[in-house]
Chains A and B, each alone.
Chain A
Amino acid sequence: MTSQVSADQAVTYTADEMMTVSAARALRDGMTCFVGIGLPSSAANLARATHAPSLVLIYESGTIGAKPAQLPLSIGDGMLAETADAVVSVPEIFNYWLQPGRIDVGFLGAAQIDKFGNINTTAIGGDYRNPKVRLPGAGGAPEIAASCREVIVVVRQSHRSFVERVDFVTSVGYGSGPGDRERLGLTGAGPKKIITDLGVLEPDPETLEFTLTGLYPGVPASAAKERTGWDLAIAAEPEIIAAPAPAELDALRRFQGTRARSHQ
């Protein structure tokens, strides 16, 4: 069996599985990664279980080098502490570990994201004090987005979530364009990839506007365009990203299976 999808020998997988596998591949072995819970945590753990066994997972609850055997239910999961190289306090994780720029990559989710990679996880619509939708808020994301050497965002793509400008800037990507991160004194390089359930977006080197550079097998560029709230630019020849290999899918499903069982 190969990783190729073909009509008669299909490795079937869901769009979410493809997204998680794609996000996992973005992490290199030996990197230090500040992990958000949810999609980013699934992808980071998948990377550690497959091609990046020495990936250092850092959770904002203060667990450094966590090696969970199952997907944690939350960042307070005891198995993160019990498998970590070090467990530190919350002030310490932000002040000593994140702030000085020690961490290679911040792995974030988003409720709304705009063409400059600014993230909103605070509120959507209406007035701040009377919003249409109240979201959980910032958590660690603003400083993760500011101080990690680079940022990768994992988010399902939709016309509602991919907007021209976010309603509220919870975490800064490239602000309103080139020069903003420098002007704001943000030490990290900013978001390098947005990995979605359709493909991958990367910032244009000149304008820093997120451009479609990769698509999953069988996904037309027009689908990505339709599910984007700005006039999405598409690379001349978007890379067709390889479908999940059986080993990747097995590892992912094993993780999700253990989590599903632990829910019962």
Chain B
Amino acid sequence: MAEIVSLAEAVERAIHDGDAVAMEGFTHLIPFAAGHEVIRQRRRDLTLIRMTPDLIYDQLIGAGCARKLVFSWGGNPGVGSLHRFRDAVEHSWPVPLEIEEHSHAGMANRYVAGASGLPFAVLRGYNGTDLYRLGTLNGGHGPVLAIEGPAIEGPTIKPITCPFTGETLTAVAAIRPDVAVIHAQRADRSGNVQLWGITGVQKEAVLASARSVVTVEEIVDQLDPRPGAVVLPGWTVSFVARVPGGAHPSYALGYSVRDNDYYVAWDAIARERGTFTRWLDEQVYGVPAGRL
């Protein structure tokens, strides 16, 4: 049964150095406050997993929390590049960042396999792409761009023959994070969690993970039904923390809209290491947990 605790306690107890952590939210309900708490508690060597790493992963990467990123699209949505992510990939700053790269369809299916307790999922995908080459560790040289250096931990994409038709399909390895972190609109006092609108891959991420942290806009006496809502029963969740505005600057449908100025401003802040470090000191390390 989910424990209702403070955000600081949830992060402290759920996320440890070296963990594989999936903070999900498909450009909606992004768990920014929880990410900042991970930075504040100075977690290190995390494998960060996320389909759409955006500002919060740029911040975690720039703060030196990650050693590896597993993802399918990394950018500042509607604005441009992630400069801290690029600095880590291109110049190993502040620490080298290993990347494991997929398509959205591949990542989504990897979570489905994890949530289903299966070692892999099957899809029609990747055929003919260089992502296939990366994922199968064929290495060598593609059309132009070389792939040098040591291989990642193991293949995550392999061809598979359909046992019924003989068709060749693509298998992708399951994702089983140590911890999933999501933001939802509401929970009740038993820790049942309800989220709605664009719900992305959050259900799969929580069910695929050994532990989970859910921040919520509010804790209510009773969760009245909502059309199209995802409900995660309290017994599937480890920790719930009440963090109003915990998805800021992203959207929380019914509560807040995207703070687009923040996304635009981030481009300039993240571009230089100095401005980023100052931002980190002032806006994360200098802010007590729960004051975001």
A residues less than 8 Å from B99 (CB atoms): 129
Question: In the complex the two chains form, is B78's CB within 8 Å of A99's CB?
Answer: no
Number of interface residues of B (CB under 8 A): 67
If A90-B104, A141-B103 touch, does A167 touch B258 (CB 8 Å cutoff)? no
A residues less than 8 Å from B67 (CB atoms): none
CB-CB contacts of A70-108 with B at 8 A, as 1s and 0s?
000111111011100001011100110011000000000
If A62-B26, A146-B127 touch, does A137 touch B146 (CB 8 Å cutoff)? no
CB-CB contacts of A221-252 with B at 8 A, as 1s and 0s?
00000000000000000000000000000000
Binds A, one of B8-16, B33-41, B128-136, B277-285: B128-136
A197 in the interface (beta carbon within 8 A): no
B residues less than 8 Å from A166 (CB atoms): 143-144
Question: In the complex the two chains form, is A62's CB within 8 Å of B129's CB?
Answer: no
A residues less than 8 Å from B101 (CB atoms): 122, 137-138
Number of interface residues of A (CB under 8 A): 62
Within 8 A of A (CB), among B44-93: 51-52, 71-75, 77-78, 81-82, 85-86, 89-90
Question: In the complex the two chains form, is B144's CB within 8 Å of A186's CB?
Answer: no
Q: Give complex CA distance A222, B73 in Å.
A: 36
Question: In the complex the two chains form, is B103's CB within 8 Å of A76's CB?
Answer: no
B155 in the interface (beta carbon within 8 A): no
B268 in the interface (beta carbon within 8 A): no
CB-CB contacts of A147-189 with B at 8 A, as 1s and 0s?
1000000000000000001111111100100001100111100
Q: Give complex CA distance A123, B145 in Å.
A: 8
B253 in the interface (beta carbon within 8 A): yes
From A129, A139, A146, A170, contact of B124 by CB (8 A): A146
CB-defined A-B contacts under 8 Å, sample of 9 = A60-B104, A73-B263, A76-B25, A129-B149, A139-B52, A139-B103, A146-B128, A168-B143, A180-B128
Binding site for B on A (CB under 8 A): 37-38, 60-63, 73-78, 80-82, 87, 89-91, 94-95, 98-99, 122-131, 134-143, 146-147, 165-172, 175, 180-181, 184-187, 262-263
Q: Which 5 A-B pairs have the closest CB atoms?
A: A76-B27, A136-B75, A76-B28, A74-B77, A139-B73
Binding site for A on B (CB under 8 A): 25-28, 51-52, 71-75, 77-78, 81-82, 85-86, 89-90, 99, 101-105, 108-109, 111-112, 123-131, 134, 142-149, 167-168, 197-201, 203-204, 228, 230, 250-251, 253, 257-258, 260-261, 263-264
